[in-house]
Amino acid sequence: MVTLAVQPRVQERHCLSEVFLLKPAELKLLSFRLAPVPDREDGLRLSYHLSRYLPDVIVVWQDGLFFGLAKQGQSLPSDPEWAEALAYLQRETKQSSESIGRFQKLLDPQCTPEILALLAEQILRVNPPFKSKAVLSSQSVAVRRRADFGAEVIEIDQTRRSALTLSPHSRITFQGTLSNFLANHPYRQNPEQLLVGLKVETFGLVKK
């Protein structure tokens, strides 16, 4: 009797996105609120600026609360350091004292799967590890491919787990000045309509 060992054919996989589970180690976490409580837009913007201003901390906002995570081997800022950071951002963004609010630290912060996923996503936003790659360039138009990422919570064996998704994204961009873009566009007679919806970059505040 002869036994044949059949080697299965491995097919190339094409994934639209990949999911990476997060395995947290010992976390140095702090939670605080501001009074009055900022709305979602202000809370997200402020958490990003705090993450840029404080070099050893990542900050996220969720449901009216801020969560700060110290980087590995670093310590969390003291209460006066948080107050100094908030005062600096208030001056730089020209916001009133009512917009920023008073710092109120909370005891025993709970790191839920949602918070952990948001912290991981914020780390990649503040310090982007991926660079876009040009896949096509013709005349004044370029196609660049980049990696998009996002926070996710998935359920495995009835247990909710923190995760990050990673997906490829291609973007067509114009290589030239705004005046050249308007001069060569077929609808250049209506510049107001062309300018509405143009993608712009938002630069975060950095500590001087």
Q: Is residue 2 part of a domain?
A: no
Q: Is residue 158 part of a domain?
A: yes
Q: pLDDT tens track of the chain, all 208 residues? A: 333 333 444 445 556 778 888 887 788 999 999 888 888 998 999 999 999 999 899 999 999 999 999 988 899 999 999 989 988 888 876 654 445 668 889 888 888 999 999 999 999 889 888 777 777 777 777 788 888 888 988 888 888 999 988 888 777 777 777 777 777 777 777 777 777 776 655 444 444 4
Q: Which domain holds residue 104?
A: 22-126
Q: How many domains does the chain have?
A: 2
Q: Is residue 113 part of a domain?
A: yes
**For the chain, the helix, strand and coil percentages under 3-state DSSP, each to the nearest 5:** 30, 30, 40
Q: How far apart are CA 38 and CA 42, in angstroms?
A: 6
Quote the tokens at residue 125: 């936003």
Is this structure's pTM higher than 0.85? no
Residue 133: the pLDDT is 77
Helices (H) and strands (E) in the chain, counts: 6, 8
Please indicate, yes or no, whether residues 26 and 45 belong to a single structural domain of this protein: yes
Last residue of a domain, one of 110, 126, 142: 126
Q: Is residue 201 part of a domain?
A: no
Q: Is residue 99 part of a domain?
A: yes
Please indicate, yes or no, whether residues 88 and 63 belong to a single structural domain of this protein: yes
